[in-house]
Amino acid sequence: MMGQQDGSQDRLFYSFNLDEHVPRDHLLRGIDQVLDLRELRAQLAPFYSHTGRPSIDPELILRMLIVGYCCGIRSERRLCEEVHLNLAYRWFCRLELDAQVPNHSTFSKNRHGRFRTSDAFRQLFESVLRRCMTEGLVGGEGFAVDASFIRADANRARGVERGQVPKWENPSRAVREYLEGVEATNPVASDDTELPSERNISLSDPAAHWTAAPGGPPQYAYSTNYLIDLDVGIIVDVEATPANRSWEVESTKVMVDRVEERFGLKPRRLVGDTAYGSGAMLSWMVKEKEIAPHVPVWDKTQRKDGTLSSNEFTWNEQANEYRCPEGVSLRSERRNFTEPRDHVTKADTIIYRSRKQDCAGCQLKQRCCPNTSIRKIARSVHEESRDVGRAIGRTPEYIDSKRQRKKVEMLFAHLKRILKLDRLRLRGMSGARDEFLLAATAQNLRRMAKRLLGVQGRTAAAI
């Protein structure tokens, strides 16, 4: 017999237990078990007044933000609607069935106000990381580092071209923050504040860099930099930088130092791609931090025209010279100077030269320096560290590290495709920092929930 609903929805009282309606294997159940916001609440307390009307519970806003970042809900307005309608979201936010969901403008006030001033998002990230460490998910033996461009919330057409000076009437929060930053590094600035002229500047978000990913169109973007532990891929630090390689590489030092200082974690090896293989970076890893560099070394010493490459010359550290295959010395200086000179060039190299009279009658001249009277070799001041990197590059361990490096790339793919963070919603460097911290926190929470509780629900499947 075909059933039919009676269609009446006018009952006044229901017996309803929210908890019973959230599936046992729901991702948010797993996250709820590993999330503890009590410490953060205590840290936020000094930023609230002791008198007046009680504010919206900061824990509620943080829980709603976690729902948004864990479930890829990017719009604050939509997040409020979803929390209002979705029982699991309501349950996670500890809201009763008839409780009021905060207005979307409350997010903006808290994000740009107390949460930013109190550095709440970093504290949240660190408290989640601490829990990951307690649960044994962070080995600390090997870290991997990488960066990924994230588009800024800035129209490509709304910018001024390189060399032009932008004029802002009614500068937005992001513009004010940018100008304050420029003034801080240029104290004589006034109305004629000297702005960086080497790139296009966005009128909406001037801190974003005009850049292009390989094969992609140019756009305004920031970089999110991840430092991850290689055991199960927990993100141990995250840093927002302009989308620029040199900033990305520098942020590695900040992250490695911070993780060591805050958590006492120092890896034995650091895995990265070619961007991290400059001589200066290798030297920082090997000499300053005593970390094994599992990164490809930038090497342009191999010649492709058939002439002798510099690795066919023998280096003698004690004599501070190269010897060519004919046994002739190449030196950086051949006489004693009254004032000792280091001979270091702007490119951080020292040039070693043979003597004209040695090369003139040499049988290898055509294979060594066919177009010049002498042979020159530029030796990096970081050559020792580069040699360490090259030696590691020939080990089976390095092959493993290369494979493990994919873990950080997968986290970026997950960030963009599942968490839908391929474009920022907040502007300015502090907006990028807040978004990247929350997204990394969400990724760690999802991973921890899956690992510890075996959460295999629909929403957890893509962790």
- Interacting residues toward ligand SF4 by CB under 6 A: 324-326, 328, 354, 358-359, 362, 364-365, 368-369, 375
Q: How far is CA 387 from CA 342, 398, 435, in A?
A: 21, 14, 39
To ligand SF4, the closest distance from the beta carbon of 121 in angstroms equals 59
Q: Any bridge partners for residue 225, and if so which?
A: 147, 239
Residue 288 vs 326, nearer CB to ligand SF4: 326
To ligand SF4, the closest distance from the beta carbon of 376 in angstroms equals 9
To ligand SF4, the closest distance from the beta carbon of 357 in angstroms equals 10
Residue 11 vs 304, nearer CB to ligand SF4: 304
CB 418 within 8 A of CB 450: no
Q: Which helix (H) or strand (E) holds 238?
A: strand 235-242
To ligand SF4, the closest distance from the beta carbon of 346 in angstroms equals 25
To ligand SF4, the closest distance from the beta carbon of 366 in angstroms equals 9
To ligand SF4, the closest distance from the beta carbon of 360 in angstroms equals 8
Q: Which is nearest to 120 in space by CA: 236, 222, 39, 241?
A: 39
CA torsion sign, 125 to 131 to 134 to 135? negative
Rg for the chain, CA atoms, rounded = 29
Residue 293 DSSP SS3: strand
To ligand SF4, the closest distance from the beta carbon of 336 in angstroms equals 23
Strand pairing of 142-151 and 219-229?
Answer: antiparallel
Residue 374 vs 381, nearer CB to ligand SF4: 374
Number of H helices, E strands in the chain: 17, 13
The number of CA neighbours under 13 Å toward the Cβ of 320 is 9
Residue 257 vs 358, nearer CB to ligand SF4: 358
Residue 338 vs 363, nearer CB to ligand SF4: 363
To ligand SF4, the closest distance from the beta carbon of 345 in angstroms equals 20
To ligand SF4, the closest distance from the beta carbon of 373 in angstroms equals 9
Residue 299 DSSP SS3: coil
Residue 220 DSSP SS3: strand
Please classify residue 358 by burial: count the beta carbons closer than 10 Å to its beta carbon, then call 0-12 exposed, 13-18 middle and 19+ buried. Answer: middle
Running DSSP on this structure, what letter comes out for residue 49? -
Residue 87 vs 364, nearer CB to ligand SF4: 364
d(CA 25, CA 365): 74
Name the token pair of 307.
Answer: 């002439």
Q: How far is CA 421 from CA 163, 221, 228, 255, 461, in A?
A: 32, 12, 18, 21, 18
Residue 151 vs 375, nearer CB to ligand SF4: 375
Residue 368 vs 415, nearer CB to ligand SF4: 368
To ligand SF4, the closest distance from the beta carbon of 309 in angstroms equals 12
Residue 257 vs 321, nearer CB to ligand SF4: 321
Provide the angle, in degrees to the nearest 10, between the axes of the packed helices 58-70 and 76-85. 100
Strand pairing of 209-211 and 219-229?
Answer: antiparallel
Residue 241 DSSP SS3: strand
Residue 109 vs 365, nearer CB to ligand SF4: 365
Q: Which is nearest to 143 in space by CA: 258, 278, 279?
A: 258
d(CA 159, CA 141): 45
To ligand SF4, the closest distance from the beta carbon of 318 in angstroms equals 20
CB 270 within 8 A of CB 293: yes
To ligand SF4, the closest distance from the beta carbon of 353 in angstroms equals 9
Residue 264 vs 327, nearer CB to ligand SF4: 327
Residue 164 vs 373, nearer CB to ligand SF4: 373
Name the token pair of 309.
Answer: 């490459």
Q: Any bridge partners for residue 270, and if so which?
A: 143, 293
CA torsion sign, 57 to 59 to 62 to 64? negative
